[in-house]
Amino acid sequence: MCGIFCLVSLSSAHFEWDKMVYEHLRSRGPNSSQDLTVISADSSFRCLFSAHVLHMRGLLTPQPFEDAFGNILVWNGEIFGGLPVMPEENDTAVMSKRLSACSEPSEILTVLSAVRGPWAFVYYQKAGDYLWFGRDFFGRRSLLWKFDPDIGALTLTSVAAQISTYDSAHWKEIPAAGVYRIDLKAAAEAVSMSLEIFPWTHAGINVIPHCCEVIFESLPCGCSGVMNKSGLALASPVCPLNMSIPKSSDKTEIHQDSYLSISDLEELLMSKQKTDEVSHLFRVLSEAVRRRVQSLPFKEPEYTHLTNKNASIGVLFSGGIDSMILAALADQHVPAHQPIDLLNVAFKILEPKQMTGSAKKTQKHKKTPTNPKTAKTGSQTLSPFDVPDRLTGKAGLKELRDLNPERQWNFVEINVTQGELQEMRQERICHLVHPLDTVLDDSIGCAMWFAARGTGVITKDGSQRPFTSSAKVILTGIGADEQLAGYSRHRVQYKMFGHEGLVQELATELGRISSRNLGRDDRVIGDHGREARFPYLDEDVVSYLNSLPVWKKADLSLPRGVGEKLLLRLTAKQLGLGQSAVLPKRAMQFGSRIAKMEAGHERGSDKCTRLLP
Ligand SMILES: *[C@@H]1O[C@H](CO)[C@@H](O)[C@H](O)[C@H]1NC(C)=O
Ligand SMILES: *[C@@H]1O[C@H](CO)[C@@H](O)[C@H](O)[C@H]1NC(C)=O
Ligand SMILES: *[C@@H]1O[C@H](CO)[C@@H](O)[C@H](O)[C@H]1NC(C)=O
Ligand SMILES: *[C@@H]1O[C@H](CO)[C@@H](O)[C@H](O)[C@H]1NC(C)=O
Ligand SMILES: *[C@@H]1O[C@H](CO)[C@@H](O)[C@H](O)[C@H]1NC(C)=O
Ligand SMILES: *[C@@H]1O[C@H](CO)[C@@H](O)[C@H](O)[C@H]1NC(C)=O
């Protein structure tokens, strides 16, 4: 994980760092911080690069990385495949070497299309004075832009900060719809910033529906964009989604939400055939996890030292099926002596609080909130942090211990109080989530920030002690629900429009995962100097799932807990998992109870006033 930044300026106006932006960049890359400025011979343009590196692989390679020809690269990415990277090599250097061998744009696009793994980058191509930048196909790394007309400057950055609403320039996420190129000389001559766009395509067709509109809508005010008419483009790293629907479209019988017991659900799952698809998914997912847990700092003496009891890998862990599979697969690939940290976040279940102005209004017509005293009498031992995800997390821990009793599993209980949430949201998280701004962005952004901080307690030999995770890599389960129909809205689509509606919904969701989730998650997790990795969004995993028709991935005529993500549940069984294989989906904001912390009826898509400065 790195923090990268580039300011392209067409005037010689004085530039001053926003201290907060600089600090946020540094948090992402605590191991090396450097700036580098390029000024054109006639001073008509200037680029300031700033890079902050978290040391992951090879020897620490400081950035901005300048090659012998004067090309400059800032790279926030991981090459997990596609281009060879030897264990002792640093991928920044590998990338730079590849790029500097390119002269034509088509060659640069070929190199970028070949990379398997997440990336965001800015590259100054000295020959011709071009500036290239962009994000990978899914948008797994954040990159924002903003154009400031007063100083004629375009800024690109991994992370920003909230700015006052009076500011004329605004941050936006750069659409992960292609890569962009600025002809700096032409821009300086025209005194205007024009971007050339090279979209992601598959067999000559734009992969992102309405790609041009999406990009033009997101262009910073004051910049213009042109699609490359000669058809130069990036080649999509995954095959397109199989849109076929079953031939026999007999009226799909839909299982009413009946209340089957866990063991009924398990029995139902066991009755389903273990198909070739299960073994295939198992293989590609296992390989995706292997690549993500083994691409770690190399040759650090502590890494191979058997007595080191510090984990390198953490999992955002709710005990649900997605995170259980990641933990169980990590177990197969992480050296046996090394612990694995399971990061489990819980927000304190509140006593009804004195409500303030606006909250009171929306609550007026609601019944009194449940009295915590009556809740307590139910079970004497219930702690206010025993939220649903804590309970399933503990059950999941037990399953993992049964699976591998030799492994040291660090179940990190991360308890967050209302006061701490408010403080950290104001001080930090609102800036990281920005420019996203909804109630859902607030809930998930905050929950992930605390989870990824990894500070809580672990229980060892019957006693609890404070603990902070040492993991530099954090695996998250994002992408499983979007691809295998895990959300309740998928059931709604299926009920209303059958397989056709469902497959359309899945196509839409994968297309917008970068703007809905990934940029935000990357900014929030990266703030702790840790790197988020997403095995369900590995190119091979997505390609395989995309190739399957929807009915092999999910069967929504079956009850909740079995039908959605059916293929994944069968894979979990193959891995030896137990009850966690039949847990219904619970979104993080509800499972962690963060959504309960705020009074009133809010919809996830509402603008969140708590995120404002
Ligand atoms: C990188 O920075 C982190 C956090 O400051 C530190 O724990 C780690 O030892 C550093 N690694 C190297 C190789 O300098
Ligand atoms: C990074 O890798 C390149 C090529 O393998 C090597 O020449 C360079 O010295 C490395 N950088 C550092 C700081 O070790
Ligand atoms: C597309 O790219 C090629 C190669 O750089 C260039 O010659 C051509 O002018 C570009 N077309 C547009 C419309 O920018
Ligand atoms: C393990 O982590 C702790 C706390 O983060 C640190 O003090 C200790 O030096 C680490 N041990 C090794 C062997 O890296
Ligand atoms: C965190 O919550 C758990 C209940 O899930 C409780 O056992 C633990 O003592 C709490 N730890 C702290 C430090 O509050
Ligand atoms: C989609 O799935 C169907 C059914 O398995 C298969 O026959 C077809 O070849 C697949 N289409 C693509 C494009 O993979």
**Ligand closest to the CA atom of residue 410:** 4
Q: Is 608 one of the catalytic residues?
A: no
> pLDDT digits over 143-157, tens only?
999 998 888 899 999
Residue 305 pLDDT greater than 60, yes or no: no
> pLDDT digits over 395-451, tens only?
999 999 999 999 999 999 999 999 999 999 999 999 999 999 999 999 999 999 999
Counting ligand 1 atoms within 8 A of each CB, the residue from 31, 53, 308 with the most, and so the one to mutate, is: 31
Helices (DSSP H) in 102-149: which residue ranges? 105-114
Helix 276-294 crosses helix 539-547 at what angle (to 10 degrees)? 170
- Indicate the pTM of the whole model: 0.90
Q: Model confidence at 527, in pLDDT bands (50, 70, 90)?
A: very high
Annotated catalytic residue within 2, 6, 102, 446 = 2
Q: Greater confidence, 444 or 55?
A: 444
> pLDDT digits over 255-294, tens only?
555 666 777 777 777 777 778 899 999 999 999 999 999 8
Residue 375 pLDDT greater than 60, yes or no: no
* pLDDT for res 299: 44
Counting ligand 2 atoms within 8 A of each CB, the residue from 88, 90, 100 with the most, and so the one to mutate, is: 90
Between the CA of 449 and the centroid of ligand 4 the distance, in Å, is: 22
Q: Greater confidence, 361 or 168?
A: 168
The strand pair at 473-475 and 531-533 is best described as parallel
DSSP 547-601: HS-GGGT--TTSPTTTSTTHHHHHHHHHTT--GGGGPPP--HHHHT-GGGGS-S-
* pLDDT for res 11: 83
Could you tell me how far CA 66 lies from the centroid of its own chain?
29
Could you tell me if the CB of 455 is within 6 A of ligand 4? no
Residue 356 pLDDT greater than 50, yes or no: no
Question: Residue 42 and residue 250: Cα distance in Å, rounded?
Answer: 72
* pLDDT for res 257: 56
Reference 178, options 232, 130, 98; nearest CA is 232
- Percent of the chain at pLDDT > 70 equals 89
Nearest CA to ligand 4 atom 13: 308
Q: Greater confidence, 478 or 594?
A: 478
Residue 520 pLDDT greater than 90, yes or no: yes
> pLDDT digits over 154-180, tens only?
999 999 998 766 666 689 999 999 999
Between the CA of 311 and the centroid of ligand 4 the distance, in Å, is: 10
Could you tell me if the CB of 415 is within 6 A of ligand 5? yes
* pLDDT for res 259: 65
Residue 474 pLDDT greater than 90, yes or no: yes
Nearest CA to ligand 1 atom 14: 31
Average pLDDT over residues 525-554: 96
Between the CA of 393 and the centroid of ligand 5 the distance, in Å, is: 13
* pLDDT for res 351: 57
CATH topology of domain 262-293+309-350+383-599: Rossmann fold (3.40.50)
Helix 91-100 crosses helix 105-114 at what angle (to 10 degrees)? 150
* pLDDT for res 361: 38
Q: Greater confidence, 103 or 60?
A: 103
Could you tell me if the CB of 242 is within 6 A of ligand 6? yes
Structure tokens given for 335? 């050296």
**CATH number of the domain at 2-235, please?**
3.60.20.10
Average pLDDT over residues 500-522: 92
* pLDDT for res 324: 96
Q: What average pLDDT is seen over the chain? A: 87
* pLDDT for res 537: 97
Nearest CA to ligand 6 atom 13: 242
Q: Model confidence at 585, in pLDDT bands (50, 70, 90)?
A: confident
Average pLDDT over residues 75-85: 92
Residues contacting 466, CB < 8 A, separation 6+: 455, 456, 457
Atom of ligand 5 nearest to the CA of 383: 4
Between the CA of 416 and the centroid of ligand 5 the distance, in Å, is: 10
Query: What residues form DSSP beta bridges with 76?
Result: 120
Atom of ligand 6 nearest to the CA of 240: 13
Residue 313 pLDDT greater than 70, yes or no: yes
Between the CA of 348 and the centroid of ligand 5 the distance, in Å, is: 10
Q: Greater confidence, 322 or 208?
A: 322
Which of the given ranges, 199-213, 289-303, 364-378, 483-497, has the highest pLDDT on average? 483-497
* pLDDT for res 307: 55
Between the CA of 205 and the centroid of ligand 6 the distance, in Å, is: 19
* pLDDT for res 376: 41
Counting ligand 2 atoms within 8 A of each CB, the residue from 60, 61, 88, 94 with the most, and so the one to mutate, is: 61
* pLDDT for res 367: 37
* pLDDT for res 383: 86
Structure tokens given for 92? 């920044």
Average pLDDT over residues 13-18: 84
Reference 163, options 41, 271, 24, 262; nearest CA is 24
Helices (DSSP H) in 77-122: which residue ranges? 91-100, 105-114
Residue 368 pLDDT greater than 50, yes or no: no
Reference 577, options 568, 587, 564; nearest CA is 568
Average pLDDT over residues 372-401: 76
Average pLDDT over residues 572-582: 89
* pLDDT for res 56: 77
* pLDDT for res 379: 46
Nearest CA to ligand 4 atom 8: 310
Between the CA of 576 and the centroid of ligand 2 the distance, in Å, is: 42
Q: Model confidence at 244, in pLDDT bands (50, 70, 90)?
A: very high
Q: Give the residue extent of every domain in the chain.
A: 2-235, 262-293+309-350+383-599
Counting ligand 1 atoms within 8 A of each CB, the residue from 2, 28, 53, 55 with the most, and so the one to mutate, is: 55
Residue 211 pLDDT greater than 80, yes or no: no
* pLDDT for res 271: 76
Which of the given ranges, 131-135, 496-500, 599-603, has the highest pLDDT on average? 131-135
